[in-house]
Amino acid sequence: MSRKLSRRGFMGAALSGAAALSRHRTRAADPSGHAPMDPAILGGTPVRKEPFPSWPVADTREENALAEVIRSGEWFRVGGKQVDRFEAEYARLTGSAHCLATANGTSALLVSLQALGVGPGDEVIVPPYTFVATVNVVLLLHALPIFVDTDPETFQIDARKVEAAITERTRAIVPVHLGGSAADLDTILEVAGRHGLPVVEDACQAHLGEWRGRKLGTWGKTGCFSFQASKNLNAGEGGAILTGDASLVEACYEFHNNSRGRRQRGADFTYRTSGANLRMTEFQAALLLAQMVRLEEQAKRRDENAAYLTGLLKEIPGIRPARMYAGCTRNAYHIYMFRYDKAAFAGLTRASFLKALRAEGVPASPGYSPLNREPFLEQTFATRGYQRIYSKEQLAGWRERSSCPQNDQLCGEAVWHGQTMLLGPRTDMDQIADAIRKVQAHAARLAQAVS
Ligand SMILES: *Cc1c(COP(=O)(O)O)cnc(C)c1O
């Protein structure tokens, strides 16, 4: 039986032009009856046995940085030095005039929208292909998220469709630089400018990413970053707002610091605005300053590996890596994304493809599901507050306005590799491509066997 399977595997490999498989082919069948070249999920030898690079990366630099804060007794940003130092460093690194550190990326977005005056009754334009936080902040302000469909080639918000979503109630546009690639900022900024609308860049996945040679997060009215554990710059939790607007950064500071201004004296208990506590701690900032030393080198490694991987994957029928807009001069590669077309894999479903790939030692995930279809959205709109603020017609029209057919399709076809998979040697990329080609070579058999 193994001989017959091996032969089929051989033919499949030959058909897909998978030269890498020849290594497996020449090995003898093992006593279990499985040929080593069989798919790992059917008992064959996996393409890769070692784990991909782990995350976070840290050593005595981080340990010393934290110990220093502990010993200093200055654990609070007001009076401490670390957060101030981080803000100055991050502004310098990104070429931004101002930086405000926040507790996390969600609060960076919330503070930005609040400072720009977004509130009940307003509409905010968002993409459906993003982490839920992008939309949650709109709901926290009792505004209405309006979804604009995804560009199927780039997986970013389709900038050509933004203008049609603008009404007299629109108060802000929040493009996301998803996966660390860039949304089409030329088009978005042009449309926003013509309508007098602020752009808040959700750059939570896009540290050191660039548009036309300038850092992502510095193009909009504000740019928001996350330093949550999975992100390319990591302090467990953390966030930052970039802006070129001196009075806006003061408004942001005041809101994130329970109504207290940057220069307000401790004994002064009078206030001009409402606020919240969304501050970063000295520990987070110390960790970020240490992690930032590694950031450029890691970004370079990801970029080089991703470019090489794209070259390999483009050659595999049915695999289409996410395209970048011409203006995206640097992709931060928080996520490596491609589309999977099961027609080129003998009808093997994406779920089975992912299982088979993982069995080969290559982690992969299906990514986001359609956010605009989440039932919690309409449940939120059914609450007392939303019912009071928005008319029945407005809420009834929301569903139709927010339909995103391209995104629905993408969510059924996308495959993601996380950023840490891009941090190893180039041979890791060869193994990712080998594993995909191997699954393709055996796709017909896998489609029968794996569910
Ligand atoms: C991570 C992330 C956020 C939220 O950041 P937190 O630090 O987790 O609050 C927002 N938007 C996007 C696109 C993200 O990836």
Q: SS3 sequence, the chain? A: CHHHHHHHHHHHHHHCCCHHHHHHHCCCCCCCCCCCCCCHHHCCCCCCCCCCCCCCCCCHHHHHHHHHHHHHCCCCCCCCCHHHHHHHHHHHHHCCCEEEEECCHHHHHHHHHHHCCCCCCCEEEECCCCCCHHHHHHHHCCCEEEECCECCCCCCECHHHCHHHCCCCEEEECCECHHHCCCCHHHHHHHHHHHCCCEEEECCCCCCCEECCEECCCCCCEEEEECCCCCCCCCCCCEEEEECCHHHHHHHHHHHECCCCCCCCCCCCCCCCCCCECCCCHHHHHHHHHHHHHHHHHHHHHHHHHHHHHHHHCCCCCEEECCCCCCEEECCCCEEEEEECHHHHCCCCHHHHHHHHHHCCCCCECCCCCHHHCHHHHHHHCCHHHHHHCCHHHHHHHHHHCCCHHHHHHHHHEEEEEHHHHCCCHHHHHHHHHHHHHHHHCHHHHHHHCC
Q: Is the CB of 239 under 6 A from ligand 1?
A: yes
pLDDT, mean of residues 372-395: 96
Pocket mutation for ligand 1, best pick of 102, 106, 234 (most atoms within 8 Å of C-beta)? 106
| pLDDT given for residue 16 in this prediction | 41
Q: Is the CB of 284 under 6 A from ligand 1?
A: no
Phi, psi of 348 (to 5 degrees): -60, 120
Q: Of 132-141, 173-182, 183-192, 398-407, which gets the smallest average pLDDT?
A: 398-407
| pLDDT given for residue 160 in this prediction | 98
| pLDDT given for residue 289 in this prediction | 98
Mean of pLDDT over the chain? 93
- Rg for the chain, CA atoms, rounded: 24
Q: Is the CB of 180 under 6 A from ligand 1?
A: no
Give the tens place of pLDDT for each residue, 279-304. Answer: 999 999 999 999 999 999 999 999 99
Cα four-point dihedral sign 107, 423, 68, 99: negative
Angle (nearest 5°) at CA 54 between 53 and 57 = 105
Burial of 202 (0-12, 13-18, 19+ CB in 10 A): buried
Q: Is the CB of 234 under 6 A from ligand 1?
A: no
pLDDT, mean of residues 151-167: 98
Distance CA 355, CA 346 (A): 16
Do residues 249 and 265 touch, judged by C-beta distance below 8 A?
Answer: no
| pLDDT given for residue 450 in this prediction | 76
Q: Is the CB of 228 under 6 A from ligand 1?
A: yes
Q: Return the residue whose CA atom lies nearest to atom 10 of ligand 1.
A: 133
Q: Return the residue whose CA atom lies nearest to atom 5 of ligand 1.
A: 105
Hey, which residues does 240 pair with through a beta bridge?
101, 225
Buried b (16+ CB within 10 A) or exposed e, 141-164: bbbbbbbbbbbbebbbbbbebbbe
Q: Is the CB of 130 under 6 A from ligand 1?
A: yes
- Residue 30 confidence (pLDDT) above 60: no
Task: Work out the percent of the chain whose per-residue pLDDT is above 90.
Answer: 90
Domains and CATH numbers, the chain: 60-291 (3.40.640.10)
Do residues 366 and 350 touch, judged by C-beta distance below 8 A?
Answer: yes
Q: Return the residue whose CA atom lies nearest to atom 7 of ligand 1.
A: 105
Q: How confident is the model at residue 399 (pLDDT cuts 50, 70, 90)?
A: confident
- Residue 398 confidence (pLDDT) above 80: yes
One-letter amino acid of 58: A
Q: Is the CB of 104 under 6 A from ligand 1?
A: yes
What tokens were used for 67?
Answer: 């110990």
- Residue 211 confidence (pLDDT) above 90: yes
Ligand 1 center–CA 348 separation, angstroms: 32
Q: Do you know the residue count of the chain?
A: 451
Atom of ligand 1 nearest to the CA of 227: 7
- Residue 20 confidence (pLDDT) above 90: no
Atom of ligand 1 nearest to the CA of 133: 10
Q: Return the residue whose CA atom lies nearest to atom 6 of ligand 1.
A: 105
Ligand 1 center–CA 248 separation, angstroms: 21
| pLDDT given for residue 18 in this prediction | 40
- Residue 64 confidence (pLDDT) above 50: yes
Q: Is the CB of 225 under 6 A from ligand 1?
A: no
Q: Is the CB of 129 under 6 A from ligand 1?
A: no
Q: Is the CB of 226 under 6 A from ligand 1?
A: yes
Ligand 1 center–CA 231 separation, angstroms: 8
What tokens were used for 146?
Answer: 């309006």
Phi, psi of 212 (to 5 degrees): 50, 45
Ligand 1 center–CA 136 separation, angstroms: 10
Place of tokens 């340990």: 63
Ligand 1 center–CA 368 separation, angstroms: 13
Ligand 1 center–CA 71 separation, angstroms: 31
Give the tens place of pLDDT for each residue, 71-98. Answer: 999 999 999 999 999 999 999 999 999 9
Pocket mutation for ligand 1, best pick of 131, 156, 278 (most atoms within 8 Å of C-beta)? 131
